[in-house]
């Protein structure tokens, strides 16, 4: 006999509650100890679930960290998810302008500075793990944003839309490297100005192409 609908709903609710508890606990531990500072047992205890439950939801600690990072970076997607459908007939240029506008209007420095801090190694040096985690987190954001843009613009060509979104979101990974070298990962006014300049450069180059041009900050004739 198949399970009753209420029983299925209860199981789904419990699973969702456990999933949320694990992510919330991981966020708190990341903030307190960094990505290398806690164990699965500590995480399970804080989330009030078993170690087995943690691994029923996530294959590895890095997957949990990536889930937290994706949520931290998710404001740009939530901006669109809170809106209704866009007017019909919008061109791909219009989609580009929407995504570029969201990146410009969303405070990305605060979450990126946070992620830079919690993903640093004990010797305060960038690591391959940090790069991989950030890349996967940005990739998840890109996939969510692509899906949302296609929902808002059902007339848009899917491949072009996904390429457009991934070009901008993927570029943020490169911006992070340059921003970190220039600012040390701070979130003050000077750091935000550096980020804004880099973001403008990314948007301009993605829109206009990548022919050889003067370097960022160089005078133009």
The whole-model pTM stands at: 0.76
Give the tokens for residue 110. Answer: 């605060």
Rounded Cα distance between 53 and 159, Å, is: 37
By the 8 A CB rule, do 108 and 172 touch?
A: yes
Q: How far is CA 179 from CA 50, 169, 182, in A?
A: 39, 15, 5
By the 8 A CB rule, do 134 and 171 touch?
A: no
Alpha helices, DSSP H, located in 73-127:
75-81, 92-105, 109-119
5-58: CATH architecture: Orthogonal Bundle (1.10)
pLDDT in tens, the chain (221 residues): 555 556 668 888 999 999 999 999 999 998 888 888 889 999 999 999 999 999 999 999 889 988 998 888 887 787 767 765 555 555 667 888 888 988 898 888 988 898 888 887 666 565 677 778 888 888 988 998 999 888 888 888 999 999 999 999 999 989 999 999 999 999 999 999 999 999 999 999 998 887 655 555 655 54
């Amino acid at each position: 006999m198949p399970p009753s609908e209420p029983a299925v709903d209860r199981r789904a609710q419990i699973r969702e509650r456990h999933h949320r508890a694990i992510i919330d606990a991981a966020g708190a531990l990341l903030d307190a100890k960094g990505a290398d500072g806690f164990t699965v047992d500590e995480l399970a205890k804080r989330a009030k679930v078993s170690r087995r439950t943690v691994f029923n939801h996530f294959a590895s600690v890095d997957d949990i960290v990536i889930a937290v990072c994706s949520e931290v970076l998710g404001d740009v997607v939530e901006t669109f998810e809170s809106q209704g459908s866009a007017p019909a007939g919008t061109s791909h240029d219009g989609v580009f302008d929407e995504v570029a506008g969201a990146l410009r209007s969303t405070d990305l420095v605060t979450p990126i500075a946070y992620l830079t801090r919690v993903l640093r190694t004990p010797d305060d040096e960038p690591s391959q793990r940090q790069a991989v985690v950030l890349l996967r987190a940005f990739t998840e954001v890109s996939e969510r944003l692509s899906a949302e843009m296609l929902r808002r613009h059902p007339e848009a060509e899917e491949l072009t839309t996904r390429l457009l979104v991934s070009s901008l979101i993927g570029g943020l990974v490169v911006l992070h490297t340059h921003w970190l070298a220039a600012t040390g990962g701070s979130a003050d006014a000077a750091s935000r100005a550096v980020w804004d300049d880099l973001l403008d450069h990314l948007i301009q180059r993605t829109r206009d192409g990548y022919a050889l041009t003067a370097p960022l900050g160089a005078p133009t004739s």
